[in-house]
Structure 1
C-alpha cells in the first residue's frame, strides 16, 4: 500500500510535486490538456491544506539540452485556466537561482519549474541534480504514474532526500489497477498492439504469469509473424527482435499462456487516410503489402477469448487507427464495453495511442479504467516493480 497525502502534514510546507505534463503540442500550444486536468486535484488539495505546490515535470525528449519549443512555459496558460484564480509562477530553470527565486516569488500560488529533461542529470539520476531539485521542497509528492517505471532523479533520487508520498492521481491509478486484477482475476486476457514494438514485445515476456492469453496486433504481431518466416511486406516490424520474439513465444507456451496471432489482416499499398484496404489471410500477404489492421476472422478470435475472460487489459490499438484503419480496434472495443455492461467484464486500457483511439470511437467511457501510463502500465501489468513506487510504499519490499 502506498503512503498518500493523508499521511503527511502539508501546512506551511513547500510541496515538490512530480506531475506528468508531457502533453501533446500543436501549433505552439497544448493540443490536449487531459494530463493537466488530471493533475489539478492533487495541486488543489495541497493548496487547501496550506501547502505551497512546486510542480515539476518533463516535456518531450530534449536530450539534456534546453529547447525553447519544449519549454514547460507553454503549459502555464492551461494550468492557470484549470486552477482558476490561483496564480502560477513559472521558473526559468528547475534548479539553481532561477528555481529558488521563483519558489520565493510564488508563495501565494503555484510554482511551475522548467523542463526537468533540459538537464542530463534527470534521466541519468545524477545524485547532485537530485539534491538540487530537493532544495525546492520540504516534502515530495509523486503524482506521475506514467513516469514511475523510470529511475530518474525526479522519480527516485528526490524521494531519497525528502519525506515522500503518492499524489491522488498516482494513488488512484495504482488502486484501480490492483482492483482490476484482484484475485481471482482469471481467465485474464491482454491485447497488445500499436507502433512501439520494442517495449511491448519485451513486456509480453512477463505477461505469462498474469494472463491466460495475449492477443497481439500491429507491429508486435508483424514481428512475431516475420519470426515465423511469414511475409509481412513493408509492414512495421522490429527486425532486430526476431530472435527475441521466438524466445518469448516459446516461453509463453511453456507457461501455459496462449499467444494469439492474426489469422487474417487488412493490407494496403500505403498507411494513409483514404488508402484502399483489402482483407487477406496472413499466408497471402504480398511483398508490396503493408498490414494496416486485423481482419474479421482475427477480430472474431479475440471476441471469442473476451467471452471467456474475467478481466482484459489493453495496450495499443489493433491497427493503424490514426491513419484511417480503426475498424478492428472499434469492433473489439465495442465488444468489451458490451461485455462490461452485460456480464461484468473488468477492463483497463493504457497508453496515449490506445486512449486516443478509444476516444475517437466514443467508447472510452465504457471502459472500467483508463491509465495515463504507457510504459509504466505495461511494466505493472507484467508484474515488474516500478522504481518510482518503491519509495512510496508503507513497508519497503524485502531485499
Structure 2
C-alpha cells in the first residue's frame, strides 16, 4: 500500500470545480442531527477549498437507503448545519446527477458550496457503476477524497470517479494515512499493538500482519479466550472460536519465532451469564485465566492483567489499539477497557486508536484530547492494519 499521496495542497484549485467526498453519515433523531462531529471534522478541507477559490460540490451517503429515495435520509439537514458552521449558505441539490444538481453546479461562483443529495439513493453508488461515476465526475474538474470511513469500499464516489478526474486527498485522509501509514511502515520502537473485540475471525489478517511489525502484541476481549483455549486452558462458557484454535497456536508459534512478546490475560472477570440488559447489574468474580469455572464465562480482563497491559503501554514509543477488553457497555465490565484507555492517555508515545468501540471509549471517558490520533473509520482502519490495499486511497495520485 502506497501512503505518499497528493493532497489538496498539491494542486491548483482557483476557479476549478472540486467534487469533495465527505463523511456526513451523521446520526439523526426525529429529523434532527444528534451529533455533528463528522460535519465538524470535514470543515478544515472545505474551508481550504473555499479559501483557494474553488467552486465546491460536496457529496456523501447517509444510512442505508439501498438505492431508494427515503426522505428521512435526505442530506438537507446536513446542508442546514453546514451553512451554520461555515457562516455561508450551502446550496442543497434536489438530486445527485439529475437536472437540478447539474444546473446548480453550473451556477456556482468561486468560493460557493453546494451539497448533492444522498449518494446511496442511486443504486449505481454502491455498485461502482461506471455510468454513475462518470456522471458524478462530469460535474467537476478535480476530485477530493476526505471520507476515510468509506475508503475500504470501491464505490462510485470513493473510487470510481478517480477514473475520470485528477484525485487528491483532503486533510482528514491525509492525517489518517500519515499517522497510521508511518506507524505501520516506520514506527518509533518499541511498537505495541493492542487488539480486543469479540471474535478472532474478525481480526485474523490483522494479527498475522501485526506480528510482522510489532515488538509486543496484546490480545484482550472475547478473542482472548480462543488463545487461552489454544494454550490448553478450560475457558468455561466464554466466547470461543473453536475452528480458530489451531490458527491461534500458529500465531503463538509465529510470535515466538519472531521474538514478539504476545501478552494474553493472566486473570479474568467471570459471571454466570452475559448481562441482560447489557448495562444492567451483574454479579462477578475475578479468577486466574487457567482457572475459569466450567459454568462461568469471561467478560473482562482482571486487575493483574490491567496492570500487565498498562506496563507494556508505558514502555512503548508507538501504540495502536483496536477493540475493547470486555463488555464495555456494562460499567462493571468496563474496567479493562478504561484501564487501557487510561494507559494510552498517560503515555508519552504516539498513540493511535482505530475507530469503533475503542474510539467511543476514549471519547466517553474524556481521553480523546490526550490521544495522538483517533481514526474516523472503524472498518477502514481495521483493513489498514491488515495491510490491505484500500481502493479509496489506491486511486489517489501519488506525490
Q: Please state which band the TM-score falls in when normalised by the shorter chain.
A: 0.7 to 0.9
How big is the shift at 1:178? 4.0
2:322 is the counterpart of 1:320? no
Which stretch of the first structure deviates more once superposed, 373-382 or 64-73?
64-73
How big is the shift at 1:142? 0.5
**Structure 1 residues 232 and 114: CA distance shift in structure 2, 3 A:** farther
Q: Distance in 1 between matches of 2:96 and 2:239?
A: 38
Equivalent residue, structure 1, for 2:353: 349
How big is the shift at 1:241? 5.2
Equivalent residue, structure 2, for 1:385: 389
Unaligned runs of 5+ in 1: none
After superposition, what is the alpha-carbon deviation per residue over 1:20-59, rounded to whole angstroms, capped at 9, x for unaligned?
1222344543232211101011111111222121111222
Q: What is the TM-score of this pair, normalised by structure 2? A: 0.86
Q: Distance in 1 between matches of 2:91 and 2:234?
A: 56
2:344 is the counterpart of 1:336? yes
Q: What is the TM-score of this pair, normalised by structure 1? A: 0.86
Find the partner of 1:371 among 368, 375, 380: 375
2:104 is the counterpart of 1:96? no
Q: Distance in 1 between matches of 2:258 and 2:95?
A: 49
Equivalent residue, structure 2, for 1:140: 143
Q: Distance in 2 between matches of 1:65 and 1:219?
A: 37
After superposition, what is the alpha-carbon deviation per residue over 1:305-337, rounded to whole angstroms, capped at 9, x for unaligned?
223322110112222223323211222222233
| Correspondence 1:289-328 to 2 at 5 A | 289-324=296-331, 325-328=333-336
How big is the shift at 1:238? 5.2
Q: Distance in 1 between matches of 2:315 and 2:325?
A: 20
| Number of corresponding residues | 390
| Correspondence 1:267-306 to 2 at 5 A | 267-268=270-271, 269-271=273-275, 272-273=278-279, 274-286=281-293, 289-306=296-313
Q: Distance in 1 between matches of 2:85 and 2:118?
A: 20
**Structure 1 residues 99 and 258: CA distance shift in structure 2, 3 A:** farther
| Correspondence 1:1-399 to 2 at 5 A | 1-84=4-87, 86-104=88-106, 109-180=112-183, 183=186, 185-195=188-198, 198-225=201-228, 232=235, 235-236=238-239, 244-268=247-271, 269-271=273-275, 272-273=278-279, 274-286=281-293, 289-324=296-331, 325-340=333-348, 345-394=349-398
Please, what is the CA RMSD of the aligned residues? 2.8
How big is the shift at 1:217? 1.9
